[in-house]
Structure 1
């Protein structure tokens, strides 16, 4: 039996990798389902090539198979990512193109073909056809349900025992060098806007990503603040997000704000996830802003590490018996 502390994204993804390989798994979480997971406030973008604009090459490499992995668990929308910028921010589009791969330049007419709602609003853009997105909250529910169907016991509202095989508790783990990075988001109901794929609006001060959730609902976000504050979203941040959404399409001026939220993303200094030993326990942590993108690859690595260490321990016990 392999025991995992933390029923967030990293813990459940690793449990799935383990159960797929025939191992029995129990997952413990001190909170209610989804209550303590920062994934609740994620965009759900499976966009490795766009992330290459600011992330290390490892993020691009490890994230390439994320869409296929998640498609085995939950619905994944494979309509690519459209990146646009206002005429005055054309240099941002040039910079983004230079720092990324697997895209093609699109004209105003092509943007209109891809997203008719944006017709005439942007003269040029970039289209990343191989990227995708999902609904994070549904994905977590679907993953938990699949695990339970496979016989995995997920014990919510139950602190983990003193000894577990893997700790995936995010910021609560208090690992050396781990820091919180505050991310803020809003969910809008905009029935007069029909956008079908992730759209990124580039701006030197307030870049925006917009992810459709269906039926006129959109998640918007972008803020990355070096802070551990859990206070609600600030008026300035919300105003910036809403202003950027209005720039993308004026009909967002009539949108209803359904929800706002703040998540503290655990990150190491290089903003890359790690699998490491600390105080006698194995940890998977530091997914930063790439949770859904990197969880599949990191979970597979963690499962390999656990199986190897457990096999080694079993062999040692046999040889010393």
Structure 2
């Protein structure tokens, strides 16, 4: 680990990246001040409303190769990061399951060919396995009364997002980190007077007004809606996705019979409550996967807007700074926050240590100077 002894960092935004970065820097000897407009429960963070699936091959159907590469890197790094935390965090690497109803077989065929092509172009991805009824019974026996085939993506995983956020707070309380909860502050206020060596903006959509001034690349919100269910009659063993032309859903099983169900993506900054249409479609779709969801209890219906940049790709921006304090912004993790966070963390630590990042260059993470000069371009 790099050493940052005698260095001071001001981090704004205690969502996923802000917490991970504060822990990593403090463990390396830095003095860190962490500011957030909400409390330790991350009530206003997109990271709180997430399924936290670590599924680079599954996500390759909708994203760029750079994000897939970051996902592969991060899937290997998560166990190392979690092992350093004092509090346990549910982590599973049991693969992903893709299902479809007979009427959607043509859509499934196109999806499968797409994933197979993506896997062949990235040797770090494990080849997907087509399942007949007998093999499906071995992999996921609880769905065989409704499905006779599927696609298995080995080595993909998931974790419990809320357990992780809580575990990071516990860790922060034992490290040289000053926690400023319920304290909204602008980066410019921290850059005055040379108090910090670096001010790092991890506010997500909270940085929307500042981001165009930094990079000229607009920051927008993509609204997601999820339902948390308690379903003791259901026993899914791994994250499961349903191919459907109108509402393709994912179901992420957590501990103690809790399931996170989601699908919707709407180009909007609207943080209002879930719509009736979304709730009906999610619940009807999840019932078609397993009849046991009919007696599930709805624990929560939640919405959040994911911070998203052009091409739905993340960026790290080295912004303008005064002579004493340097400025960095990390944003645009979109729907892939948990899947790619360790790759971004490792890249940022390298940048802070030496000014360059081999990890970012290898994985295709965009590192952008305030002049818009590309330092590391997508692979």
Same fold judged by TM-score > 0.5?
A: yes
Q: Using the alignment, how far apart are the partners of 1:30 and 1:263 within structure 2?
A: 16
Q: Using the alignment, how far apart are the partners of 1:153 and 1:64 within structure 2?
A: 33
> Structure 2: where are the runs of 5+ without partners?
1-7, 83-88, 120-125, 192-197, 213-217, 322-326, 357-379
> Structure 1: where are the runs of 5+ without partners?
311-321
SS of equivalent residue, structure 2 residue 328 = strand
Could you state the TM-score of these two structures normalised by the residue count of structure 2?
0.78
Q: Using the alignment, how far apart are the partners of 1:142 and 1:132 within structure 2?
A: 19
Q: What is the aligned partner in structure 2 of residue 169 from structure 1? A: 203
SS of equivalent residue, structure 1 residue 88 = helix
SS of equivalent residue, structure 2 residue 269 = coil
1:22, CA displacement in angstroms? 3.6
Moved over 4 A (4+): none
1:106, CA displacement in angstroms? 1.1
- Tell whether 2:87 aligns with 1:62: no
Alignment deviations for residues 34-62 of structure 1 (CA, whole Å, 9 cap, x no partner): 12211111111011111001100111101
State which of 238, 241, 259 in structure 1 corresponds to 2:279.
Answer: 238
- Conserved? CA contact 1:87–1:123, under 8 Å: no
Q: Using the alignment, how far apart are the partners of 2:24 and 2:64 within structure 1?
A: 25
SS of equivalent residue, structure 2 residue 316 = strand
Q: What is the aligned partner in structure 1 of residue 175 from structure 2? A: 150
State which of 93, 98, 114 in structure 2 corresponds to 1:99.
Answer: 114
Q: How does 1:43-62 map to 2 (within 5 A)?
A: 43-62=51-70
SS of equivalent residue, structure 1 residue 264 = strand
Alignment deviations for residues 156-181 of structure 1 (CA, whole Å, 9 cap, x no partner): 12234432521000101012211000
Q: What is the aligned partner in structure 2 of residue 80 from structure 1? A: 95
Q: Using the alignment, how far apart are the partners of 1:84 and 1:256 within structure 2?
A: 23
- Conserved? CA contact 1:17–1:300, under 8 Å: no
Alignment deviations for residues 80-129 of structure 1 (CA, whole Å, 9 cap, x no partner): 10111111111222222222223111112211211221123212111111
Q: What is the aligned partner in structure 2 of residue 210 from structure 1? A: 251
Q: Using the alignment, how far apart are the partners of 2:91 and 2:232 within structure 1?
A: 22
Give the root-mean-square deviation of aligned CA atoms.
1.8
